[in-house]
Amino acid sequence: MSENFGSSGQIQPLSLGNVVTAGFRIYRSHLKSYFSLALIGYLWSLLPFLLLIPAVIALSWNLRFNNNSFLVWLIVVLIELFVYFYALGKFLVNAAIISRLAFGELVNQPETVNTARSKVKSRLWMFVLTVLLLLVISFALLLFFVISLSLLQTLQWINPLNLILPLLNFVAFFIVLAAVFWFAARFFIADILIGIETHLDPITAVSRSWELSKGNALRIVLIMFVSLLIPMPIQIVIQLIVKGIIQALIQPVLIQQGIPNIINGSTNAIFLVAMVYLLILVTLFLVSAVILPFWQAIKAVIYYDLRSRREGLGLQLRDREI
C-alpha cells in the first residue's frame, strides 16, 4: 500500500475505499493464520450445540424415570448456560486476536499468534460481559422504540391526524431503522477494544467505542454495508450448494425414513437427524470462518483510523502493500 495516510500535521480520515482496501489486503496476506483462528473460534461455538444431545437425553430420562424433577432441569440449564457463555468467550477471544494482529500490522508492530493469544485469552469473561452489556443496551433501545411506535398509534383516535397516520408510520419506520444503524456504528468496535487495549473493562470499552466513533457513525455504517456486500457472492454460492445437497439427498431420507422412525423411537433415526444437524452447522461455520477474518480486519482498520484522527497518534499505514 503505497499511499501514506498519516502525516505530521492534521491527520486525515481514511476514505471508505481505503478502509475496505486495507482490510482486504490484510485479510488476503494473512488468510491462512486468520482462517485458523476463526475456525478454532467456530469450533468452540459448536460445543453448546453438541451439548444439546446429552442434555436432551438427560431431560428425557428425567421425564420418564424421575417424575420431571425441577432440580434436574435446573442443573441441565445451568450447565448449558455456562458452556454457552464459555464457548462464546472462546469465540470472541479468537475473533479479537485476529483484529489485534491486523492492528499490529497497520501500526508496524506485528505480533505472532501465540503472543497475541497470551495477551488476550485471560480476558475471556470480559468479552462475554461486554457482549451482555451491549445486549442490555440493545434491549433498552428496542423497548424505547417499541413504546414510541405504540404511542404513535394512539394518534389514530385524533381525527385530523388519523388521515396522515400511514405517512407518519412510514417516516417513523425509517427513523427507527436509521437509529438502529447509528447505534450499531457507535458500538461497532467495542468488542475488539477489549482485545487491543487490554486494560479496559466492559463499561469503559463501550464508552470508548462511543467516544471514538463520535461524528463518524454514517461513515462506519457505509463501511459496514460495503464490507457485507464483498463476501456476499461467496455466501450465496455456498448456501445454494448446501441447499441443493439437502434437497436432493438429505431431505427425502428424513421425510421418508427419519421422521417416522423418530416418532417410533428409533435411535438410528435420531442419530441420522443429529448427523444432518451437525453437517449443516459445520458447513455454515466453515463458510463463516472464511468471512470472519475479513470482518475483523475491517474492524481493526476502522479502529486504527478513529484513533489516528481523534487522538492524533500520527500512526501510518505501512509504506508497502500489506
- At 230-279, the pLDDT tens digits run 888 877 777 777 667 666 655 555 555 555 555 554 556 566 666 766 77
Neighbours of 235 (CB within 10 A): 15
* Residues of the chain where predicted confidence (pLDDT) is lower than 50: 1-11, 265, 315-322
Alpha-carbon distance 89 to 192, whole Å?
12
Nearest to 207 by CA among 134, 308, 119: 134
User: Looking at residue 273, what is its pLDDT?
Assistant: 64
User: Looking at residue 75, what is its pLDDT?
Assistant: 83
Q: Following DSSP, what letter does each residue of 162-205 receive, concatenated?
A: HTSHHHHHHHHHHHHHHHHHHHHHHTTTHHHHHHHSTT--HHHH
User: Looking at residue 300, what is its pLDDT?
Assistant: 94
Task: State the first-to-last Cα distance of the chain, in angstroms, to the nearest integer.
Answer: 6
Q: Following DSSP, what letter does each residue of 237-268 receive, concatenated?
A: HHHHHHHHHIIIIIHHHIIIIIHHHHHTT-HH
User: Looking at residue 171, what is its pLDDT?
Assistant: 81
User: Looking at residue 245, what is its pLDDT?
Assistant: 65
Nearest to 262 by CA among 273, 253, 251, 252: 273
- At 110-135, the pLDDT tens digits run 999 999 999 999 999 999 999 999 99
Structural contact between residues 99 and 297, judged by C-beta atoms closer than 8 angstroms: yes
pTM of the model: 0.80
Structural contact between residues 101 and 30, judged by C-beta atoms closer than 8 angstroms: yes
Structural contact between residues 23 and 65, judged by C-beta atoms closer than 8 angstroms: no
* Strand positions, DSSP E, the chain: none
